[in-house]
């Protein structure tokens, strides 16, 4: 990514208060935290994406939260990226991942969707798997709880106690991607199993 390139940092989630505190909205939580840290108001809506434009880590960025529901995130993000002339290689997508233990982060430069329908929608819309993802571990359901009930459920009390730290670390990882590159960020954060 070049120095002058605009970055698109998009968090995946579902709109509305019913979903706000759920595991599936971890991506939205990170975008909200970045918006506060970087003082970028996320108040504009275009192509059904709530977004704001500013500077993060010394780089020009667009922070985005698609409002089309998780499984249809791709087309709105593609329209926004096209509007701002952002290449897919300058896009970082933040999303929950049940295949990672809670509090673990993993950065990927490309690859499959791992069963995540939001990522699949983005891959389909962009016609490519070549975009950076920051996966936020939310773990798997305990006992007989189904996957949908787990990701659309609220964090447990033990998880809530360390949620702020997890979000803060995710924000640091994104800033590292922007300032030092994806490889440096992967070497630093993919090893952090806690």
Q: Where are the beta strands (DSSP E) in 21-128?
A: 44-46, 49-56, 59-66, 91-97, 105-108
Residue length, the chain? Answer: 194
Q: Is 184 a catalytic residue?
A: no
Contact 34, 14 (CB under 8 A): no
Rounded Cα distance, 146 and 149, in Å: 5
- What is Dmax (Cα atoms) for the chain? 50
Q: 69: annotated binding-site residue?
A: yes
Rounded Cα distance, 90 and 4, in Å: 11
Q: 83: annotated binding-site residue?
A: no
- Which of 24, 51, 95, 116 is catalytic? The answer is 24
From residue 21, alpha-carbon distances to 96, 128, 142, 155 in Å are 13, 30, 19, 7
Contact 49, 76 (CB under 8 A): yes
Q: 71: annotated binding-site residue?
A: yes
Which residues carry out catalysis?
24
Annotated binding-site members for tRNA: 19, 69, 71
Annotated binding-site members: 19, 69, 71
């Amino acid at each position: 990514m070049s120095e002058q390139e605009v970055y698109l940092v998009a968090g995946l989630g579902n709109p509305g208060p019913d979903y706000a505190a759920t595991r599936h909205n971890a991506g939205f939580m990170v975008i909200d935290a970045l918006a506060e840290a970087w003082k970028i108001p996320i108040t504009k809506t275009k192509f059904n994406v709530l977004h704001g434009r500013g500077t993060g880590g010394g780089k020009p960025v667009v922070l985005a939260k698609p409002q089309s529901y998780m499984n249809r995130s791709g087309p709105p993000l593609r329209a926004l990226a096209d509007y701002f002339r952002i290449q897919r290689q300058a896009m970082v997508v933040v999303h929950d991942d049940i295949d990672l233990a809670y509090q673990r982060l993993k950065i990927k430069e490309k690859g499959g969707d791992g069963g995540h329908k939001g990522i699949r929608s983005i891959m389909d819309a962009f016609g490519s798997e070549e975009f950076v993802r920051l996966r936020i571990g939310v773990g798997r359901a305990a006992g007989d709880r189904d996957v949908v009930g787990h990701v659309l459920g609220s964090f447990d009390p033990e998880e809530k106690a360390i949620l702020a730290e997890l979000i803060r670390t995710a924000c640091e990882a994104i800033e590292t991607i922007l300032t030092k590159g994806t490889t440096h960020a992967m070497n630093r954060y993919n090893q952090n199993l806690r």
